[in-house]
Amino acid sequence: MAKKKNTAAKQQTPSTASTVSEQNLNSAPFYLNRYFLYAILALLSFAFYWNTIQNDYCLDDLMVITGNKATLKGYDGINELLTKDFLYGFRGGVSHDLASNRWRPLSMISFAIEQEWFKGNPHISHFINILTFVLTVLLLFHFIVRYLKVNEIMGFFISLVFAIHPIHTEVVANIKSRDELFCLLFTLLTLIPLFRGFEKKQYLWLIPAAFSFFLSLLSKENSITFIAAVPLLLYFFSKEKAPVLIGSTLLLIGVTALYAAMRFSILPYEKAEASKELMNNPFLLAVGFQALATKIYLLLVYIKLLILPYPLSFDYSYNHFPYRELTDLMVLLSIVVHIALLLLALVGLKRKSIYSFSILFYFITLSISTNLVVEIGTPLGERLLYMPSLALGFALVYFIAAVLKKANALKPAVILIIAIPIVSLAAYATVQRNSEWKNDNTLNIADIQKCPNSARLCNGAGGADIRISMDTTLSKKTQDSLEYIGIKWLKHGLEIHPTFADCELNLGVAYSRLDSLELCEKLWNDVRRVAPGHPKFLEYDPFLGVAYLNKGLKAGEKDPRRAIYYFEKAIRYIPNNPDLLYNLGGAYYTIGAYAQAETTLTKCLQVKPGYKNAEMGLRASKFKLYGK
């Protein structure tokens, strides 16, 4: 009999483990009731991210908000957001690039509503992100305690691990990542009525569950993994039998089918193509098994970031992680680690080990982001751990509880001694990282130190240094130093990715700052040959034209022929600028090219009728040509 009792103790299920913990914590202060724990979670979740409210728009906010014409229309743009891919308003047209072939209208609509009411105010958007995160943490705690039957203290610490994990800074601090926030929020709002319906045998609750799951899919496709995660949760934390597990799966499959039908009617999959741009297709240059080997290695990096979220970076694109071979030791280690985790999960599956649940939940929810199922356009992203990180809370809290119980130290004072330093360290890391998300400049300059071989970060940091150097309040020495550093990073970016258009464009800006317009023009025209419709040319062509116009005006004081050289360069970029046409006509007149002066000044008057100086110049040119 003793032997059986000992075996049962070893085969601890999630529910029995929570009961043990509850019995050992009965001596906890009376005020540690559920509502007080709700308040602590809400306050901590808000406190960790309060400093993001002062941040500006940053990074991909340009694509979804500040540079997205559909979003900026407010209410009037909602129909476009519902019927086009989420970057349609940014690009100004349809793209068949798999990297941007996304339909995520829910977060986009929320941005449009904010623009209707609070146009151009990023602080409101940051505040809404924080509130969404706080609500998610509270719903998580409610779900764990009420429906997974975990006691309040254990449920609190599981939720706390999620709330304070610094890996979530990208999701909360980046307004664009509201798609991640909404995805998990509505997934939890799926689970609560779903579990309630099965628990109470009140199946009408399945209707709001299905609706919430549909909203989750409209937020981001990652919630599709819950087709497998929901049966997993039911198996480990309820007594439901196979019919319920199958029924829940079929319900979610049905909702997903509806979503897929709508999505592919808007964005036909057969028209989607793999991106030809390395920044959106990080394995484009991989040969043989390099792509597979690198993806396997990155699975190990995800585990590292989950356990030790330092250093943090918004970008891990080409070539931060060089391509790996299957014989690489780190690739082999990743294979061994993941096989070991899978075996551990399978061994504990029958007895419903909490570690089996945590491992399988992590594998399931991360699967769609690994590039092993479908190419997602980025090798790795911290935001992609937002949902899978839930697994860490379960495994870590149960592990610590088991260790403390074995040491007969499962007491409130000991728990606080462990928790306070962890919370303090996480708070420091999170608040500090939030400040780096202040704007594009602060973020790129901070992250280039962590990922110096990322072409995208080289471009971002170089561009940031050049923009800062334009601050006229800085000393000339500081401006020159920033320009030098910016050019260094941009050149390094082009060494990594020689045809990186954005990097060439920014390097052109840097050269223009150094009065090297010919070098600037060459770089920009290199991009123009490859991507003639690049949207940056709408901004850069007028800039280059005016710059050449000003050089021509300066040269014209001593050398009219040199002035004509610059004016003719300028006219390629601003062909209908009346001041340019007038000065070019005047320079022709000065050197005696009266026919060209007549033609140029005539065009000037067509562009700007009544231009007095041009009329006088035209009369003088005609007099020289025709004597009248």
Mean pLDDT is lowest, of 12-16, 101-105, 123-127, 536-540, for 12-16
Place 304 in a pLDDT band, splitting at 50, 70 and 90: very high
pLDDT at residue 627, rounded to an integer: 81
Q: Evaluate the omega torsion of the peptide bond into residue 388 and state whether it is cis, within 30 degrees of 0.
A: no
Number of H helices, E strands in the chain: 30, 0
Q: What is the mean pLDDT of residues 332-353?
A: 97
Max intra-chain CA distance, the chain: 125
pLDDT at residue 74, rounded to an integer: 96
Q: Are 314 and 464 in contact (CB under 8 A)?
A: no
CA dist., res. 219 & res. 196, Å (int): 24
| pLDDT at residue 438 tops 80 | yes
What single-letter amino acid sits at 353? S
pLDDT at residue 374, rounded to an integer: 87
Neighbours of 343 (CB within 10 A): 11
pLDDT at residue 608, rounded to an integer: 95
Question: Helices (DSSP H) in 322-409: which residue ranges?
Answer: 329-347, 354-366, 390-406
Q: Are 379 and 388 in contact (CB under 8 A)?
A: no
pLDDT at residue 628, rounded to an integer: 64
| pLDDT at residue 487 tops 70 | yes
Place 357 in a pLDDT band, splitting at 50, 70 and 90: very high
pLDDT at residue 397, rounded to an integer: 96
Place 392 in a pLDDT band, splitting at 50, 70 and 90: very high
CA dist., res. 222 & res. 259, Å (int): 13
pLDDT at residue 31, rounded to an integer: 53
Those residues with Cβ within 8 angstroms of residue 414's Cβ, 6 or more apart along the chain or in another chain: 404
Place 29 in a pLDDT band, splitting at 50, 70 and 90: low
| pLDDT at residue 3 tops 50 | no
pLDDT at residue 594, rounded to an integer: 95
pLDDT at residue 613, rounded to an integer: 95
b/e per residue, 216-249, with b = 16+ CB within 10 A? bbbbbbbbbbbbbbbbbbbbbbbebeeebbebbb
pLDDT in tens, 499-527: 999 999 999 999 998 889 999 999 999 99
Place 386 in a pLDDT band, splitting at 50, 70 and 90: very high
Place 241 in a pLDDT band, splitting at 50, 70 and 90: confident
pTM summary value: 0.89
Of 150, 134, 136, 132, the residue nearest 233 (C-alpha): 150
Percent of the chain with pLDDT over 70: 93
Q: Evaluate the omega torsion of the peptide bond into residue 525 and state whether it is cis, within 30 degrees of 0.
A: no
In order of start, what are the domains of the chain with their CATH numbers? 278-405 (no CATH), 455-522 (1.25.40), 543-626 (1.25.40.10)
pLDDT in tens, 447-476: 999 999 999 999 999 999 999 999 999 999
b/e per residue, 125-139, with b = 16+ CB within 10 A? bbbbbbebbbbbbbb
* Half-sphere exposure at residue 282, Cβ-oriented, CA atoms within 13 angstroms: 28
pLDDT at residue 455, rounded to an integer: 96
pLDDT in tens, 143-188: 999 999 999 999 999 999 999 999 999 999 999 999 999 999 999 9
Place 266 in a pLDDT band, splitting at 50, 70 and 90: confident
pLDDT at residue 11, rounded to an integer: 39
pLDDT in tens, 307-339: 999 999 999 999 999 999 999 999 999 999 999
CA dist., res. 59 & res. 28, Å (int): 46
pLDDT at residue 416, rounded to an integer: 87
Of 148, 197, 141, 154, the residue nearest 23 (C-alpha): 154
Question: Helices (DSSP H) in 201-328: which residue ranges?
Answer: 206-219, 226-237, 242-266, 290-307
pLDDT at residue 361, rounded to an integer: 98
